[in-house]
Structures are given as C-alpha cells and as structure tokens.
Amino acid sequence: MPTSRPAPVATSVPSALHSSMYDEKSDSKAVVERVERVEGLPLPVMKRRPNRLRKERTRYTPKPGFKPANLHMPPLVQTEELEQHRFPDDAWICINDLVFDVTAFMAVHPGGRAIVESFAGKQCDWQFERFHGKPQLTVWAERLFVGRVESPPLNLFPEPGRWITTGDI
C-alpha cells in the first residue's frame, strides 16, 4: 500500500515572542512580524555541473632512476650537457643558474606541455619569474633539482622593457 506523505505544516510564532530581540523604537533594525516553519517539503537537489575547462589532475612522478641532487652541495652541470636535454622525453631547464629535470613535470604543468618544451635545454629566468616567482620554485625545487650550471646559456628571448611613470623616478 503506498504511503502518503504528511501534509506541510505551517506554524506561526507571534511577534510578541521576538519583541525583546528587536527594538521597535530604532529604525535601523528589522521588525519580525511572524516566523513560519514548514515541515515535510522535499529539499531541492542541487546537481553539480562538471567543469569542462578544468583538466584532469595527474600526479608528478619522476622518471625511473631519477634522484634529485642535494640542494646544499649541488653538482655542476656543463652548458653543453644542459643543451643536450632539449627533447620532450628528456627535458631540463635552467632557472637562475639552477638546472631542473622537468620531463615528468610537463604532464602536470598548468600552462601545458608546449610552453615547457619550448624552453627545454635553455635558460628561462625572466619568463619563469614573470609567471611564477620564487614561491613556486621553492615548492618544486627539491623534487626536480639536478644541479647548478657552470656558465648559463644566454636567454634567447630578451626581457621586454617595462614602462614606469615619471612619478616613480
């Protein structure tokens, strides 16, 4: 036998019960005329829309056999060795004379693989500073650090000039 739902019940609470909470002389506070409590009505179900713009997050896992270098005594990396690691399956980048293996990191880079691949085997100091900064570097440095480059290669892209107002001089 189907069971019927109870009918919604509305109860009123006279405003006299709430008069101590509100000052009727003051215009800045609201006056409650009555409060209704409704029982038995179904709550609306809110469906969460999928975010189509958000990419699936994957975890960073380094290549098999990769061991990060000691940050306190980094090994020296020759410029020629850095330039050899310029391929998508073996990519190193140089930021502030520090060399990082970003091969596995490209999969989780928020800006996509292409931007990291374009700097593989090269220096990208000001580009990294412009979009990320030191906090991001310290987060990933321990996991990706390879060593310190002896004589860093030149950045192929000159840093664009910045406009300043005359009040800043």
Note the pTM of the prediction, 2 decimals.
0.52
Which pLDDT does position 18 carry in this prediction? 47
Which fold is adopted by the domain 79-148?
A: Flavocytochrome B2; Chain A, domain 1 (3.10.120)
pLDDT, tens digit (0-9, with 9 covering 90-100), for 26-60: 556 677 777 777 777 676 676 766 655 555 555 55
Q: How many helices (H) and strands (E) does the chain have?
A: 4, 7
Cβ pair 128, 115 in contact under 8 A: no
Which pLDDT does position 31 carry in this prediction? 75
Which pLDDT does position 129 carry in this prediction? 83
What are the residue ranges in the chain where pLDDT is below 70?
Answer: 1-29, 41, 43-44, 46, 48-73, 152-169
CB proximity list for 134: less than 8 A, separation 6 or greater? none
